[in-house]
Amino acid sequence: MAIINVTPDSFSDGGLHFSVDAAVAQALACVAEGATILDIGGESTRPGAAPVSPAEEQARILPVIAALAGRTDALISVDTYRAETARLAVAAGAHIVNDVYGLSHDRDMARVVAQTGAGLVLMHTGRGRETDKVADVVADQRIFLARQLDMAADAGIRREAIVLDPGFGFAKDRDEDFSLMARFHELRDIGFPWLVGTSRKRFIGAVTGREQASDRDVATAATTTLLRLSGASIFRVHNVAANRDALRLADAVLAADHGGGHKENEA
C-alpha cells in the first residue's frame, strides 16, 4: 500500500504531491514500483497537525481518486475518519476506507462502509481513550479491536471486508511501539489479516538517529521484514521499491520454512 499524501503538512512528504497532477503521477509511479493499493489522504495525522474541514479534505482527494480510478487497476483506499468523505470517495472510485480511529470518531462511518460495500481498514488507536486504555499493549489491542469489530458486525460490514491495523505510532510511546512489534505474533489468533504502517515514523528515527523522515527507509524496510515474518500481510509505505525487496526476502524465508507453500503475492 503506497502512501499518497495530498497535503501541505504531512510529516514526511507534505507538499510534494499537493496538486492533483503531482499526486496522480506519484501514485502511478508507486504502482510501477509494485504497489497494489494506493492510500489517498487529505489530512495529516501527525501529532500536532492542524485539522482541515471536511470540504477541504474532499477538495484535495476526490479529484485524485477519480483520476486514478480511470488509470490504474490498483485498489484505491481513502485515508479518512469522516463518514461523508468516505461515502464520496467510494462514489469517486475508492474501494477501501482506511479509518485511523477504527470507527470510533464518526458514528456514521460503520453505516457508510456497510452501505457502500467498501473494504475497511480498522485501526487501533489510543486517542481519546485515556480512561479505558490498559498498560499491556497486546491486551489493549484485543480490548479495543473486539469492541470495534462488534460495532462493524452490528452495522452489517462483512467480516471478509475487514483488515486490522495495530496503529504503530498512534497514541503510543516508543517503548509501546517496540513492545507491540516484538509481540506482534501474539495477535495472529484474532483471525483477520493485518496491515501495518511503520514507514518513516518517529519511533524509527529515535532509534536510528535519523532526524529526517525521508532518511528512514532502510530502517522501515527492516521493520517490514520483521513484521512480515510475524504475520503481517499489507504494508503501508512511502518507498515501495525498498519494501518490496524486503518482502521478497521475508517471503523467501517463509517459503523455505513452510516447504514452499507460502506465496509471495500475499504481500
Between 45 and 119, residue with greater pLDDT: 119
pLDDT at 259 over 60: yes
Q: Which tens digits make up the pLDDT trace of 198-215?
A: 999 999 999 999 999 999
260 band by pLDDT with thresholds 50, 70 and 90: low
> Residue 212 class from Cβ within 10 Å (0-12 exposed, 13-18 middle, 19+ buried)?
exposed
Among candidate residues 87, 216, 228, 236, the one labeled active-site is: 236
CA–chain centroid gap for 222, Å, is 17
The domain tally of the chain equals 1
Distance CA 107, CA 101 (A): 11
Q: What is the predicted pLDDT for the residue at 257? A: 86
Q: Which tens digits make up the pLDDT trace of 129-154?
A: 667 889 999 999 999 999 999 999 99
Q: Which of 7-21, 36-50, 114-128 tops mean pLDDT?
A: 114-128
The helix (run of H) or strand (run of E) holding residue 195 is: strand 195-196
Domain span including residue 7: 1-89
Q: Which tens digits make up the pLDDT trace of 206-239?
A: 999 999 999 999 999 999 999 999 999 999 999 9
Q: What is the predicted pLDDT for the residue at 130? A: 66
Nearest residue to 46 (alpha-carbon basis) of 83, 15, 12: 12
Residues 57-73: what's their mean pLDDT?
Answer: 96
Residues 75-92: what's their mean pLDDT?
Answer: 98
Domain annotation covers residue 51: yes
Per the rule left: phi > 0, alpha: psi between -120 and 50, beta: everything else, 258 is: alpha
Between 51 and 261, residue with greater pLDDT: 51
pLDDT at 240 over 90: yes
The least confident of 88-97, 129-138, 171-180 is 129-138
Domain annotation covers residue 55: yes
| 0.75 surpassed by pTM | yes
Domain annotation covers residue 140: no
Domain annotation covers residue 7: yes
Per the rule left: phi > 0, alpha: psi between -120 and 50, beta: everything else, 164 is: beta
pLDDT at 18 over 80: no
In the annotation, is 201 catalytic? yes
- Report the chain's mean pLDDT, rounded to a whole number: 92
Helix axes 217-229, 240-257, angle to 10 degrees: 30
Domain annotation covers residue 22: yes
119: amino acid identity, one letter: G
In the annotation, is 133 catalytic? no
Note whether 166 and 180 are within 8 A (CB).
yes
Give percent of the chain with pLDDT exceeding 90.
Answer: 84
Domain annotation covers residue 33: yes
Domain annotation covers residue 98: no
Q: What is the predicted pLDDT for the residue at 267? A: 45
Residue 243 cell numbers, joined: 519494501
255: amino acid identity, one letter: A
Instruction: Count the Cβ atoms, other than its own, within 10 Å of residue 153.
Output: 14
Distance CA 20, CA 24 (A): 6
Domain annotation covers residue 159: no
pLDDT at 258 over 80: no
Q: What is the predicted pLDDT for the residue at 196? A: 98
Distance CA 17, CA 8 (A): 8
Residues 12-23: what's their mean pLDDT?
Answer: 69
Note whether 172 and 201 are within 8 A (CB).
no
Among candidate residues 82, 201, 216, 228, the one labeled active-site is: 201
